A and B are shown apart, each in its own frame.
Chain A
Amino acid sequence: MPDDANVLAIEGLRAGYGALEILFGTDLLVAPGEFVALMGPNGAGKSTLLKTIFGMTAVTGGSIVWNGERISGRKPRDIRRRGIAFVPQGRCNFPLMSVDENLDMASCTIPGTRRADRDFVFDLFPILRERRRYPAGYLSGGEQQMLEMGMAMLQRPRLLLIDEPSVGLSPQAIHQVFAEMLRINAEGCTVLLVEQNTRKAMEVAKRVAVLRLGQVIWTGPPSAITHQQLGSLFMTGRLDMAPDDTVFPTV
């Protein structure tokens, strides 16, 4: 059992939306404290994998084991209570409610969250303390992303799933969001990141996992792969795209 502590083990996972299957036997093992960047072309199933770990899609096969316990098939609420937090893509807050009320909503489904946890979030993102009475919708894009990460961190998760945090943000805000993720990771929280900005993701991640057509086809440290090889993996599924390999058929 100690070997399983805070390990995320995904085996032969099949999942999707109704009749539409997106993941076809995905395997991924994430060790405690890792920072893994999930990459892959559009439609590879990156977001679906995060949603599936968090219990938001229909699992049709395989298993997800977290902390020695099978969590596939459980509801998001139960999964949150087991120390996993999810920051989905796009704006996920309540725009007309204040920062404080947004944090209230994040804590009301987790029994036992205290004042100290609120302070923990405010220490992590001091800008939120300044803005606590403002409606979330009045915050800048970067501040809203911090709020959403704050809502996830309120429960002090041991695994953070975060989907495309850089979308629509200014370069400074992107820089800050990535710095915060590194800090969260340095404090011992495992991070599983989906990111289109491959350059940025490879700077921060300790390991890259490439997803293509619903399967993990390559994994290793960012130093073990060049951007060119990554591009080749995305398009052909092979590392060694020969120069004369045609990706697009010529007429």
Chain B
Amino acid sequence: MLQNLLTDGLVIGSVYALVSVGMTVILGVLGQINFAHGEYYMAGAFAAWWAIDRLGLSYIESIPLAILIVAVLSLVIGYVVMQRLVDVSFDAGIIATLGISLLLQNGATLLFGGTYQVFDGGWLAPMRVLGEDIAQQRILIVLVTLAVFGALEWLVRKSSFGKQMRAVAQNVECCHVLGLDVRRVVLITFILGTTLAALSGVMTAPITMNIYGAMGEAITLKSFAVIVMGGMGSIGGTLLAGWVLGIMESLVAAYVGLQFRDAVAFTLLVLVLMWRPSGFFNTKARY
């Protein structure tokens, strides 16, 4: 029973980590919380559903297509809105991203209707791992998450673009003096962050099965809790914080009551802000 709960928590935690790390990189580079982040998770799930249900593609084909669609969507939003947020106040960023959130949620409802849609895809056949039956899709989520985090660590630490991301995060003024194209770095980082949310949405939809326009709301708020716990900008911290949240939720749902599950993130958020506002895994600063 306990082992079951822990694996469950690990899978859900991986989903949270994958979405949240996108929010983390955007926060790091742009200095803004993307309050529309869950909407890209929703858009990813809807794009894949549309590809499967309307175009008749297979699940595996729908994944790259969904990511491409969200990438184009965030290219437009990034160009029109997010690039301008580099040197505006924090509250202007909140208003702008909340506005995008409303647009995307209602856009999805207009396009696909206000009812739940059933996501028909994924690999749900069970696999025996450590004496337990787990759906293949769940194992895949954990593996993809680990691979993405490994790749991200490499990207940020070693690659030339990653260095530019850290440079923009640490001193925008100095980037201007050196002639670094700050807007380009912001745009690419934003697309990277939103496509990670979309990937998470596509990977999770087969497990949650139902998708709807407002499904991203809770994800945005939980991601916010995760990145605060993870130390606001730490990539490794985000993974651990995602897992902590997933496992705590799964334990609370089993031993306290299902209705308390969604309160876990916010309780943790309040506790962290009270006792350790720099997060569990403080890196002292972004990146």
Residues of A with Cβ closer than 8 Å to B? 54, 56, 75-78, 80-81, 86, 88, 91-97, 101, 104-106, 108-109, 151
Contact = CB atoms under 8 A, between A and B. Distances in A.
A106 B181 CA distance: 12
B173 A151 contact: no
Given A56-B177, A104-B160, 5 more contacts: A77-B179, A78-B179, A93-B171, A105-B163, A151-B178
A76 B170 contact: no
A88 B170 contact: no
A109 B184 CA distance: 13
Contact of B177 (A88, A96, A101): A88
A78 B179 CA distance: 8
B176 interface: yes
Contacts of B171: 91-95
Interface string B152-193: 000000001001101100110111111111000000000000
A92 B179 CA distance: 13
Contacts of B175: 105
Nearest to A154: B178
A109 B163 contact: no
Nearest to B284: A96
B177 A76 contact: yes
Contact of A54 (B163, B177, B181, B285): B177
B35 interface: no
Contacts of B180: 105, 108-109
A96 B285 contact: yes
A76 B175 CA distance: 10
29 contacts: A56-B176, A56-B177, A76-B176, A76-B178, A76-B179, A77-B181, A80-B178, A81-B179, A91-B171, A92-B171, A93-B171, A94-B167, A94-B170, A95-B171, A96-B285, A96-B287, A97-B163, A101-B163, A101-B166, A104-B160, A104-B163, A105-B167, A105-B178, A105-B180, A106-B178, A108-B160, A108-B180, A109-B178, A109-B180
Contacts of A81: 179
Given A96-B285, A106-B178, A88 B173 contact: yes
Band of interface residues on B: 10 to 19
Interface of B is mostly: helix
Closest 7 CB pairs of A and B: A77-B179, A109-B179, A92-B174, A94-B170, A76-B179, A105-B167, A80-B179
B171 to A, nearest CB: 6
B173 A96 contact: no
A94 B286 CA distance: 12
A88 B177 CA distance: 8
B196 to A, nearest CB: 23
A151 B167 CA distance: 14
Nearest to A51: B177
Most B CB contacts (10 A, CB to CB) among A54, A81, A92, A96 go to: A96
A86 B177 contact: yes
A93 B173 CA distance: 9
A105 B160 CA distance: 9
Contacts of B178: 76, 80, 105-106, 109, 151
A96 B170 CA distance: 7
A96 B181 CA distance: 20
B246 to A, nearest CB: 29
A95 B170 contact: yes
A151 B166 CA distance: 17
A95 to B, nearest CB: 6
Contacts of A56: 176-177
A130 B174 CA distance: 23
Nearest to A94: B170
B160 A94 contact: no
A128 B21 CA distance: 34
B177 A97 contact: no
A173 to B, nearest CB: 20
Contacts of A96: 166, 170, 285, 287
B173 A92 contact: yes
A88 B178 CA distance: 11
Nearest to B286: A96
Nearest to B170: A94
B164 A105 contact: yes
Nearest to A95: B170
Contact of A75 (B170, B179, B285): B179
A151 B174 CA distance: 11
A108 B160 CA distance: 9
A198 B287 CA distance: 40
Contacts of B166: 94, 96-97, 101
A31 B174 CA distance: 28
Contacts of A92: 171, 173-174, 177
